Copies of this chain bind each other. A is one copy, B any other.
Amino acid sequence: MLLVRGGTVITADSSQPADVLCGDDGAILAVGSGLERPTGAQVLDAGGLLVMPGGIDPHTHMEMPFMGEVASDDFFTGTAAGLAGGTTSIIDFVIPEQGGSLIDAWRAWRSKAEKAAADYGFHVAVTHWDERVSEEMGELVRDHGVSSFKHFMAYKGALMVDDGVLMRSLARAFELGALCNIHAENGEAVAWLQADLLAHGLTGPASHAASRPPLVEGEAAQRVIAIAGVHGAPVYIVHVSTEDATRAIAEARARGQRVYGEVLAQHLVIDDSVYKTDDWLSSARHVMSPPFRPRHHLDALWAGLASGTLQTTATDHCCFCEGAKRKGENDFTKIPNGTPGIEDRMSVLWDHGVRTGRLTPQEFVAVTSTNTARIFNMHPRKGLIAVGADADLVLWDPEGSRTISAATHHQNVDYNVFEGMTVTGLARHTITRGVLAWSDGDLRAVRGAGRYVERPCGNADMMASTLRAAARDPLVVA
């Protein structure tokens, strides 16, 4: 047993002094002020610290095969780095082979993830459509604890699906009570722009950003919102990076549609100036999709979080070292897409968000864990501090300061997009299912300690949407 004593417990809706007792089974046994220390219980002094639910990163790609490379952080190193930053759960993406079985892919990912040091779940990608896909979606939901499916509107010739597949897959998922998440960029426009830029000899990383302008993301967001709207189904848009997509979500919500948006810590604080450099490698290391944006988009994203238009924060953690990035030296379309982030998300959010007044501490909790747990059906096991919930906690030092660097981070990758940034607010201790996994700079992550989190379908939002869709007269349209 572990007694976290003397801290201030912050949840998505309140802030008050309280102790937290974590049981040996990994669940929270008690929350309250002046809790007795049970015999044998270890005591962790949380004086001056904020006790918050451990972070959940709903968007990571550990050891993902992509563009001929494999992401360098595996499920162990990646989750361990997460623990060092206060993140205690991830949801990673299962990507089936072209035309392949979703179940087979899910099994393969389950196997790879057994080494994880923290808990994990999976979204499963739908990259084509046929009867088997439809059936396997059902099986994943019924038997394997998968309640969300991923779709790519970009990556033409690889992962991209067209509107016909989206129509079918969203309908099927809605029928199952599962949520669809969407990478929203117009893949045809991107492909044309890539070819056009290459044809003009513009082969460097700056072309990556130029080939994926904001309107290409805004368009796709609008489109999938319309498609979901046809069904009355909720939809979740990953890595919203633009004012355009944020506004599309806000407008849909203003019409009563349940649309969710996720934003990456990286997109919140880094702008497109990273591509305006002669340092090829530095620029290539910032190649991700969507790319970094002009500064006014960052303001819109922060406001999106504070206003409730965007609900979650993530990292799209996907690490490629110099060797991999160099594959695209003569052709920006060959640079593996992705940046690291899992270790620093929470500090960056706190420093740039809470300390500036953009977010309250409660909102910080909501967007780093609680909303994610609710939307993706990990609630009430994850994302809150309450009796019976998993004892996944971060003891946050709001005044602690550190300077981010690849030289000191725990991520298995040779750079950090926040390199040199000094942030105030850090994870002093991280507890995963009752076990101290990070303590004052000491990383005690245990290979294989993480558990697969089954995520059931049909949360309150989904049920409300189903009710509402059922009530629609199919012959009456707005």
Minimum CB–CB distance from A360 to chain B (whole Å) comes to 4
Q: How far is the CA of A216 from the CA of B466 in the complex (A)?
A: 21
Minimum CB–CB distance from A200 to chain B (whole Å) comes to 6
* A366: nearest chain-B partner, CB-CB: B13
Copies per complex? 4
Q: Taking the complex as formed, is A331 at the interface, i.e. its CB lies under 8 A from any CB of chain B?
A: no
Contact with B along A352-392 (1 / 0, CB 8 A): 00111111111100000010001000011000100100000
Q: How far is the CA of A53 from the CA of B12 in the complex (A)?
A: 17
Q: How far is the CA of A300 from the CA of B370 in the complex (A)?
A: 27
Stretch at the interface among A160-168, A315-323, A399-407, A410-418: A160-168
Q: Contact check, B256 vs A465: say whether CB atoms are below 8 A apart.
A: no
Q: Contact check, A466 vs B254: say whether CB atoms are below 8 A apart.
A: no
Interface of A is mostly: helix
Stretch at the interface among A131-139, A142-150, A222-230, A424-432: A222-230
* A215: nearest chain-B partner, CB-CB: B226
* A293: nearest chain-B partner, CB-CB: B477
The residues of B that contact A307 with a CB separation of less than 8 Å are: 250, 253-254, 256, 308-309
Q: How far is the CA of A465 from the CA of B358 in the complex (A)?
A: 8
Q: How far is the CA of A167 from the CA of B190 in the complex (A)?
A: 10
Decide: A477 near B209, CB < 8 A? Known: A189-B163, A254-B250.
yes
Q: How far is the CA of A209 from the CA of B474 in the complex (A)?
A: 10
Q: How far is the CA of A213 from the CA of B166 in the complex (A)?
A: 17
The residues of B that contact A163 with a CB separation of less than 8 Å are: 186, 188-189
Task: Select one of B15, B294, B463 contacting A478, CB under 8 A.
Answer: B294
Q: How far is the CA of A296 from the CA of B300 in the complex (A)?
A: 15
Decide: A477 near B384, CB < 8 A? Known: A219-B222, A360-B461, A468-B357.
no
The residues of B that contact A197 with a CB separation of less than 8 Å are: 474
Q: How far is the CA of A308 from the CA of B311 in the complex (A)?
A: 11
Task: Select one of B216, B466, B468 contacting A226, CB under 8 A.
Answer: B216
The residues of B that contact A227 with a CB separation of less than 8 Å are: 186, 189, 219
The residues of B that contact A466 with a CB separation of less than 8 Å are: 357
Q: Contact check, A475 vs B210: say whether CB atoms are below 8 A apart.
A: yes
Q: Contact check, B210 vs A191: say whether CB atoms are below 8 A apart.
A: no
The residues of B that contact A288 with a CB separation of less than 8 Å are: none
Q: How far is the CA of A255 from the CA of B300 in the complex (A)?
A: 7
Task: Select one of B359, B360, B478 contacting A214, CB under 8 A.
Answer: B478
Minimum CB–CB distance from A449 to chain B (whole Å) comes to 27
**What number of A residues sit within 8 Å (CB to CB) of B?**
92
The residues of B that contact A460 with a CB separation of less than 8 Å are: 15, 360-363
Q: Contact check, B192 vs A300: say whether CB atoms are below 8 A apart.
A: no
Contact with B along A448-464 (1 / 0, CB 8 A): 00000000000011011
Minimum CB–CB distance from A99 to chain B (whole Å) comes to 20
Task: Select one of B193, B254, B357 contacting A303, CB under 8 A.
Answer: B254
Q: Taking the complex as formed, is A247 at the interface, i.e. its CB lies under 8 A from any CB of chain B?
A: yes
Q: Contact check, B213 vs A192: say whether CB atoms are below 8 A apart.
A: no
Q: How far is the CA of A312 from the CA of B468 in the complex (A)?
A: 22
Q: How far is the CA of A408 from the CA of B475 in the complex (A)?
A: 34
Q: Taking the complex as formed, is A23 at the interface, i.e. its CB lies under 8 A from any CB of chain B?
A: no
Decide: A465 near B357, CB < 8 A? Known: A214-B478, A215-B229, A218-B226.
yes
Q: Contact check, A463 vs B226: say whether CB atoms are below 8 A apart.
A: no
The residues of B that contact A467 with a CB separation of less than 8 Å are: 355-357
The residues of B that contact A461 with a CB separation of less than 8 Å are: 360
Q: Contact check, B230 vs A464: say whether CB atoms are below 8 A apart.
A: no
Within 8 A of B (CB), among A280-313: 294, 296, 299-300, 302-304, 306-309
Q: Contact check, A14 vs B192: say whether CB atoms are below 8 A apart.
A: no
Q: How far is the CA of A196 from the CA of B358 in the complex (A)?
A: 24
* Interface pairs A-B: 5 shortest CB-CB: A357-B467, A357-B468, A308-B308, A256-B303, A253-B307
Interface residues of A, Cβ cutoff 8 Å to B: 12-16, 32, 156, 162-164, 166-168, 171, 186, 188-189, 191-193, 196-197, 200, 202, 206-207, 209-210, 213-216, 218-219, 222-223, 226-227, 229-230, 246-247, 250, 253-256, 258, 275, 294, 296, 299-300, 302-304, 306-309, 354-363, 370, 374, 379-380, 384, 387, 460-461, 463-471, 474-478
15 contacts between A and B (CB under 8 A): A13-B370, A13-B374, A13-B379, A14-B384, A16-B380, A166-B188, A168-B192, A213-B478, A219-B226, A253-B307, A253-B309, A256-B306, A294-B478, A356-B467, A357-B468
